[in-house]
Amino acid sequence: MRHLPIGSLVYEFSRHLEPRARVGPGETLVVASEDALSGQIRTDADRRDKAAVPYSNPLNGPIFVEGAEPGDALAVTIREIRPSIGQCATRTADPRQLCEWLGTEVPHGTHVCAIKDGLIHWSDAIAIPYAPMLGCIGTAPDWGAPTTAPAGNHGGNLDLIEVCPGNTVVLPVFVPGGLLYLGDAHAAMGHGELSATGLEMPAESTITVDLRKGPKIPGPRVEGPGEIMAVATGCPAERSMAEAFARLILWMEAEFGWDRWRAYDLLTHVARISVGYYGIGTVGVKVDRRYLGGGG
């Protein structure tokens, strides 16, 4: 199995960089990534130094997928996400919108946690189940080079807990080869990523990259054994929620034989919502696969 080690840290989903790897459809590889804090916090005494490294969420890539052309999609199945150094880190230095209620005198709050025996040892009294996911995954757009701060139709900083082992992330292709990037692994994260920092960790992610030839999809999707999810992003989050619902409805119509208005009715009663980082309004809307065969 091929291994893609960490190279120069990349903070954009750029079509201008030379591929770090070329893979054929169906190929599996292990991709190493640095944590979202750019490796600056390894102990509770460390501090995030944005003067030295101003950006967050470094990526590994791009990965060129042979045969991928604009209008296709990459289907990236996440097989495993392993911590590279047996620990994760978080910080609470940026309360942002919460300052209105919590105040601005916030301690730096650097917090390093050991990962052992399937648990994240948050404190002597609290252990959190290890539930890894990738905060950032995406392809390179054909116009501009979005950073690793926002999300968009190319993917990006999705911060959705469903981007996890066992699921497949489906991403639009905008340029030849797709140019896949990934990084920002979390040992676990709650919905909304409240402090804008999950339990960040350097990691090795085992992925299988498949190619789907058209029709073009409007944005990221997540497919799991038990559910499917459409994603939209942007503020206000209410609009993203509506767009994600619409994308799921049209997906159900195009691929599962549903009448759009019957799907609209059904989702009113059975859909569920997943929220990425609340500051950028990323929303996933999902439905259990058991409903998809009901037709419309």
Contacts of 147 (CB under 8 A, 6+ apart): 11, 12, 13, 55
Q: What is the mean pLDDT of residues 114-125?
A: 97
Q: Which residues of 89-124 are buried (b: 16+ CB within 10 A; e: fewer)?
A: bbbeeebeeeeeeeeeeeeeebbbbebeeebbebee
pLDDT confidence bin for 104, thresholds 50/70/90? confident
pLDDT at 178: 98
pLDDT at 138: 98
Q: Which two tokens stand for residue 135?
A: 């905060």
pLDDT at 87: 98
Its pTM stands at 0.96
| CATH, domain range 2-212 | 2.60.120.580
| Distance, CA of 60 to CA of 83 (rounded, Å) | 16
Cis ω before 58 (30° cut-off from 0): no
Closest CA to 37 of 112, 98, 129: 112
Show me where the domains of the chain are located.
Answer: 2-212, 226-294
The number of helices, as runs of H, and strands, as runs of E, in the chain is 3, 19
Q: Per residue in 185-205, pLDDT tens?
A: 999 999 999 888 999 999 999
The residue among 98 and 24 whose pLDDT is bigger is 24
Query: CA angle at residue 174 from 170 to 175, to 5 degrees?
Result: 120
pLDDT confidence bin for 46, thresholds 50/70/90? very high
pLDDT confidence bin for 97, thresholds 50/70/90? confident
Residue 293: pLDDT over 70: yes
The region, left, alpha or beta by phi > 0 then psi within -120 to 50, assigned to residue 268 is alpha
Q: Per residue in 140-161, pLDDT tens?
A: 999 999 999 999 999 999 999 9
- By DSSP bridging, strand 21-23 and strand 59-65 are parallel
Q: Are 36 and 128 in contact (CB under 8 A)?
A: no
pLDDT at 255: 96
Q: Are 272 and 266 in contact (CB under 8 A)?
A: no
| Distance, CA of 109 to CA of 102 (rounded, Å) | 15
Closest CA to 218 of 207, 239, 232, 206: 232
Residue 207: pLDDT over 70: yes
**Ordered DSSP codes for 175-206:** STT--EEEEEEES---TT-TTS--SB--EEEE
- By DSSP bridging, strand 2-4 and strand 27-33 are parallel
Residue 34: pLDDT over 70: yes
- 226-294: CATH, from 3.10.28, 3.30.70, 3.40.1360, 3.30.750: 3.10.28
Q: Per residue in 208-245, pLDDT tens?
A: 999 999 889 999 999 999 999 999 999 999 999 999 99
pLDDT at 74: 98
Residue 296: pLDDT over 70: no
Residue 184: pLDDT over 80: yes
Residue 95: pLDDT over 80: no
User: Over pLDDT 90: what percentage of the chain?
Assistant: 88
Q: Do domains 2-212 and 226-294 have the same CATH topology?
A: no
